[in-house]
């Protein structure tokens, strides 16, 4: 029997999501998640969570010992400058991912725990690390280098890396397919709007700019992250407000964004509150949209010619209000949304631009698991 199944593991900071993807037909015979790791009522730690994933899979008849498994694909958040391609895990690769922990202190350790847990149970099974930063490795230096002292930046590996790369890669390619073109022929602005959010500018299939930076904190307004902010605010909070670096970190990553602005980070709840005339929710929405519009304008300038603007992830796929507000009045840029098409709900990739809009506007559901499975499978079956 040929092994055609790939287990995709996404070990996040507080959850482990898993899916089995059958590459023979793209089906998902098993999927699930273990949430609230380290929190009350959840798994105690990542090791416990991964044991539970193993048990869940076995209970569904897809134990790790299954001969049908061809590989395990892991989402690894930070690949630094070294990992720009999906990579077969070896001892040396593990050490290199470990060395990147200072750049992603919450995520890379969780990813490593997942890889080690599988290694212990099935040492013979090929494991492939697929990096969230990899798609952004093509950024030109003018886009990735911060305008700070070069020596300091280089000594501490400070530069823009970008994240959500698997999603930006998948969605930009799917957008080209939707337009009936090859990725090399189209320029796309991808707006990945989930709880975390990022924008990217993709020219002919190659990523040339992205909004997240050294860490996922930079760029768009997110569920709980501030996105772009004057760096002096951090200094001010430490010097004048007496906050510690950890407190500032928690403020900007977990208590800011939509949550910090109005007390809710779920766009559905914000929409409900806006409908009732809630001013804080309305302002949070307006700030979120204002930032998004600035990035669309900026990436239009970066790309010169834009063929499509594509929305993806929880907010991008579901919130017609965000999509409408984000692109309203952009006729001069050639971007026109069709109100009726935009309002139609759906789970398939679709166009929402008006007839005659020079730039296509699309909604493309992201599928990071499929992309990771494909990359892992093609690496082990080469
Ligand atoms: P992540 O993978 O980053 O956790 P998702 O891509 O699943 O996030 O997006 C989650 C977010 O999507 C939720 O916090 C919510 O704000 C938004 N969302 C989900 N469904 C809807 C909907 N029907 N309308 C508006 N927003 C939605």
Quick: pLDDT tens for 146-177: 999 999 999 999 999 999 999 999 999 999 99
Q: Which atom of ligand 1 is nearest to the CA of 192?
A: 6
Question: What is the per-residue pLDDT across 92-102, written as a single tens digit (0 to 9) for each?
Answer: 999 999 999 99
Q: Answer yes or no: do 206 and 86 share one domain.
A: no
Cα 54 to Cα 47, 62, 67, 81, 98, distances in angstroms: 11, 9, 15, 32, 23
Whose CA is closest to 50, among 76, 78, 98, 15?
15
Answer whether residue 110 is part of any domain.
Answer: yes
- Please list every protein residue whose CB sits less than 6 Å from any atom of ligand 1: 194-196, 223, 265-268, 313-315, 318-319
Mean pLDDT of 230-256: 96
Q: Which atom of ligand 1 is nearest to the CA of 321?
A: 25
Q: Which one, of 375, 376, 370, lies nearest residue 21 by Cα?
A: 370
Q: Does any domain span residue 239?
A: yes
What is the pLDDT of the chain when averaged over all its residues? 95
- Domain endpoint, select from 99, 131, 163: 131
Single out the residue in 131, 162, 192 at which a domain terminates.
131
Residue of 10, 132, 259, 314 to test ligand 1 pocket, by largest number of atoms within 8 Å of CB: 314
Predicted confidence band at 280 (pLDDT cuts at 50, 70, 90)?
very high
How many domains are contained in the chain? 2
* Confidence band of 209 (pLDDT split at 50, 70, 90): very high
Question: Do residues 105 and 34 both lie within one domain?
Answer: yes
Q: What is the chain's Cα-based Rg?
A: 21
Q: Do 123 and 252 share a domain, yes or no?
A: no
- Residues 10 and 121 placed together within one structural domain of the fold: yes
Residue 271 CA, closest ligand 1 atom number: 25
- Specify if 199 maps to a domain: yes
- Which of 99, 116, 131 lies at the terminal end of a domain, its last residue? 131
Same domain, 117 and 198: no
- Alpha carbon distances (Å) from 131 to 45, 194, 303: 23, 18, 25
Verify that 117 and 9 share a domain, yes or no. yes
Q: Do residues 16 and 107 share a domain?
A: yes
Q: Which of 74, 60, 54 is nearest to 30 (CA)?
A: 60
Q: Would residue 132 show up in a list of annotated catalytic residues for this protein? A: yes
Q: Whose CA is nearest to atom 2 of ligand 1?
A: 194
Q: Tell me whether residue 51 is in a domain.
A: yes
* Nearest alpha carbon to residue 191 among 214, 217, 164: 164
Quick one: average pLDDT of 362-370? 96
Residue with tokens 């407000």: 241
* Residue 8: predicted pLDDT: 97
Residue 133 near residue 163, CB atoms below 8 Å: yes
pLDDT at residue 228, rounded to an integer = 98
Q: What is residue 38's predicted lDDT score, i.e. its pLDDT?
A: 84
Residues 188 and 88 in one domain: no
**CATH code for the domain in which residue 312 is found:** 3.30.420.40
Q: Mean pLDDT throughout 241-251? A: 96
Task: Check 45, 65, 132, 151 and give the catalytic one.
Answer: 132
Whole-prediction pTM: 0.96
- If one residue of 77, 194, 219, 363 were mutated to test the ligand 1 pocket, choosing by the most ligand atoms within 8 A of its CB, it would be 194
Pocket test for ligand 1, best of 191, 195, 312, 346 (most atoms within 8 A of CB): 195
d(CA 123, ligand 1 centre) in Å: 36
Q: CA 135 to CA 294: how far, in whole Å?
A: 23
Statement to judge: residues 212 and 326 lie in one domain: yes
pLDDT band for 1, please (50, 70, 90 cuts).
low
Q: Determine which residue's CA is closest to atom 19 belonging to ligand 1.
A: 314
Range of the domain at 254: 181-368
Joined tokens for residue 51: 């044991």
189 and 60 within one domain = no
Q: Percentage of residues in the chain with pLDDT exceeding 90? A: 88
187/332 same-domain check: yes
Q: What is the pLDDT of residue 150?
A: 98
User: Is residue 162 a contact partner of residue 201, using CB atoms and an 8 Å limit?
Assistant: no
More confident: 211 or 48? 211
If you average pLDDT over each of 58-67, 107-116, 185-194, which comes out highest?
185-194
Q: Both 192 and 121 in a single domain?
A: no
């Amino acid at each position: 029997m040929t092994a055609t199944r790939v287990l995709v593991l996404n070990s996040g900071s507080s959850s482990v999501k898993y899916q089995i993807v059958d590459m023979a037909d793209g089906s998902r015979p098993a999927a699930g998640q273990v949430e609230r790791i380290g929190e009350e009522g959840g798994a105690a730690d990542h090791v416990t969570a991964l044991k539970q994933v193993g048990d869940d899979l076995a209970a569904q008849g897809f134990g790790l010992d299954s001969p049908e498994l061809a590989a395990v694909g892991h989402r690894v958040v930070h690949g630094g400058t070294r990992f720009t391609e999906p990579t077969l895990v070896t001892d040396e690769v593990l050490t290199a991912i470990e060395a990147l922990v200072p750049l992603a202190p919450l995520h890379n350790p969780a990813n490593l725990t997942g890889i080690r847990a599988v290694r212990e149970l099935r040492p013979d099974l090929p494991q492939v690390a697929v990096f969230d930063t990899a798609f952004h490795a093509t950024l030109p230096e003018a886009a990735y280098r911060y305008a700070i002292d070069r020596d300091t930046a280089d000594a501490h590996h400070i530069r823009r890396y970008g994240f959500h790369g698997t999603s930006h890669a998948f969605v930009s390619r799917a957008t080209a397919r939707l337009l009936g073109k090859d990725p090399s022929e189209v320029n796309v602005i991808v707006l990945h709007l989930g709880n975390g959010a990022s924008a990217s500018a993709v020219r002919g299939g190659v990523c040339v700019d992205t909004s997240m930076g050294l860490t996922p904190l930079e760029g768009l307004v997110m569920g709980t992250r501030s996105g772009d902010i004057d760096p002096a605010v951090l200094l001010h909070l430490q010097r004048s407000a007496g906050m510690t670096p950890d407190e500032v970190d928690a403020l900007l990553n977990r208590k800011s964004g939509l949550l910090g602005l109005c007390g809710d980070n779920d766009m559905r709840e914000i929409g409900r509150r806006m409908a009732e005339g809630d001013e804080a929710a309305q302002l949070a929405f307006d700030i979120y949209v204002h930032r998004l519009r600035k990035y669309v304008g900026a990436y239009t300038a970066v790309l010169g010619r834009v063929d499509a603007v594509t929305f993806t992830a929880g907010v991008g796929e579901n919130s017609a209000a965000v999509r409408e507000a984000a692109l309203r009045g952009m006729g001069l840029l050639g971007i026109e949304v069709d109100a009726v098409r935009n309002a139609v709900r759906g789970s398939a990739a679709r166009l929402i631009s008006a007839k005659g809009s020079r730039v296509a506007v699309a909604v493309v559901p992201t599928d990071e698991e499929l992309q990771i499975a494909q990359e892992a499978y093609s690496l082990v079956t080469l």
